[in-house]
Amino acid sequence: MDGTQVSVVTFLMPLGVSESNSKGTMLFLVKENIYWQLFADAIEDANNTYIFHNGQLMIAETDFELPVEAVYQQASDLASGESVSFSLNGENWTLLCTGSRDWDMRYVTVLKTADLTGRIWTDLARLLMLLMGLAAVGVLVALLLAKRNVQPIREISSMLSQKRESGDELSTIQTGIRELSARNTDLTTRLERSLPMQRHDFLLRFMKGRYASREDSIREAAAVGLMIDKAYYAVVLSGVQDHNDQPLDLRMPPFDSVAGALGCGVELVALSAHMYLIFSDKPEQIRQMAELIREVGLERSGHAIVSLSGIQTDFSQAPNAYLEAAAAYENRFVMDDTCLMDYAEISTSIEDILPKARKITDGINQALLMRNRDMLAGKIGELLHFLKHTSMSPFAFRLIYNDVIAALLREHTQALSEKQDLQDFYDIFSLSSCQRVDDLDELLRRLCDSILSAEKKPETGTSVEEQPGIGQITRYMMDHFTDPELSISAIAEAFDMSTARLSLAFKELTRMSPLEYLTLLRVERSKMLLRDTALSIKEIAAEVGYYDASSFIRRFKQITGVTPLQYRRSKEESGNYADS
């Protein structure tokens, strides 16, 4: 085709041979030298080949003189792939037939049975020679190994302290083997005792990403009895209730029930937690193991904080997996031990969370400034309820918590500086003693109580409520806030003051305007009615001093961030949280 002439062998394959069923012919051209390479064995055999169609010979290639009719008679009753032996002209022949019944095509090969048998015996002889060669190699290897073991056997014999009698060498060797086995058992026992420390070192190095490749990690793990060649892994952190608690053995029940998963744990003293690395064939097996760790913790102490990192496949991502587990573990203040803290399920949105939290924080500060313990208790309860029932990330929690601390420092620095118990300061600012949200509740209430107890009196030596003028005004507002006619002008007129003077004096001492304080009193009263009564929104509005429900709803949402109806429903769903 490129101008060079080559010898080729032509193959024709008909695709239908009748006029009514003619589909064409497939043509194959094979270079002659390639043809000989591919079919050398078949070409070397002396045989006759025939192609029949509807009983008529189409083409033949023969090495033997055989009647065509006799050949077709033998092939006519055979199905494709069948063979038959027959005698003709004093010779035994073997015939193989292939073809298509649809086209009534017969492709027939005939060769001498003696040639075929000889070929088979030749192949068997070659196979036998190969097996004999392999057997000889096996004998040589066995002799070599036996020769190499002569010296160890002699050394075993020489290690024995007892005297050997002539002809008792076998007994001596058996005794030596028993002694070596005992020594090996002792060595194995010592190794097993050191494995926990070696595994501890491996887990820490793996978590820090100290291994250069996956293969290095698998090899080092195998050296300490951990088969970590799994498709998935994750990090689990579990809080420690007692400093004497040791990490759980994940090879023992109930963990061994999770087929395809394995894990090992170490103690993280600084975090007061146990860290587990879990490897598995399937992602859901890792979550099963984490849930079992949590269940065992609940059974032992009735309380369990367990966090789970994202599922990983790349061993080089182990440091990131630890950071994910630690971030989820920090969320224990929010989620408590009500469920497994899965990093993948923690919300990172803070757009809707912070405004609501800051309204509550402002309420805590206002209650402290007003020295109103009932209001303070309600506001702290509301904050903790909000934290418990809002999905948020540790970052969002920290922002909310920092707002509370900032409010305390901004307005009550002097009272805090007079505190003598520095441990309280450390606990509240570092959250060091917090394992759950209820612990945070206790810390906040204790610190706020200390502020109220240590807060200096105003210069007159009396509290805000007791100071002449403003104290009387706050008590008057508390007694009459349900009166819809109560306004700043009415209050100023009742105490023979101008509204400007009243507002300035009131805000100077309380950090809020009289109207803000009046609204706060009404909203706090309406919360109690929403929680504890079945009154309608309109009835509650009238009960707390509003002529119309729309003004009440607007003021309520301004203070709480939700409508009265939303507030009522949230309390019904959460079991009517008493302190909020």
Question: What residue ranges do the domains of the chain occupy?
Answer: 8-118, 210-345, 353-454, 470-573
Q: Which residues sit opposite 49 in a β-bridge?
A: 61, 109
Q: Are strands 48-53 and 105-112 parallel, antiparallel or unpaired?
A: antiparallel
Q: What is residue 570's predicted lDDT score, i.e. its pLDDT? A: 80
pLDDT of residue 141: 86
pLDDT for position 278: 94
Separation between Cα atoms, residue 207 and residue 210, nearest integer Å:
8
Domain 8-118 has CATH 1.10.1740: no
Q: How confident is the model at residue 79, as a pLDDT?
A: 79
pLDDT at 43: 59
> 3-state DSSP: the chain helix, strand, coil percent, rounded to 5?
55, 15, 30
At 256 the three-state DSSP class reads helix
Strand extents, DSSP E, 82-212? 83-88, 91-98, 105-112
Strands 48-53 and 56-61: antiparallel
Dihedral of the alpha carbons of 410, 415, 420, 424, in degrees to the nearest 10: -50
The whole-angstrom separation of Cα 227 and Cα 534 is 62
Residue 501: per-residue pLDDT? 85
Question: Where do the H-state alpha helices sit in 302-393?
Answer: 318-330, 332-335, 353-370, 373-388
Q: What residue ranges of the chain have pLDDT lower than 70?
A: 1, 16-23, 39-44, 100-103, 149-170, 172, 186-194, 241-244, 270, 331-338, 346-352, 369-371, 391-399, 402, 405-439, 454-469, 511, 574-580
What does the pLDDT read at residue 468?
45
The CATH architecture that domain 470-573 belongs to is Orthogonal Bundle (1.10)
- The reported pLDDT for the residue numbered 273 is 85
Beta strands 306-308 and 341-342 are parallel
Amino acid at 131: L
Residue 83 CA to residue 90 CA, distance in Å, equals: 20
d(CA 562, CA 579): 17
Report the b/e string of 49-86 with b at 16+ CB within 10 A: bbbbbeeeeeeeeeeeebeeeebbebbeebeeeeeeee
CA distances from 97 to 79, 82, 101 (A): 7, 6, 12
Report the pLDDT value the prediction gives residue 367, as an integer from 0 to 100. Answer: 75
* CATH architecture of the domain covering 210-345: 2-Layer Sandwich (3.30)
Q: What is the pLDDT of residue 18?
A: 55
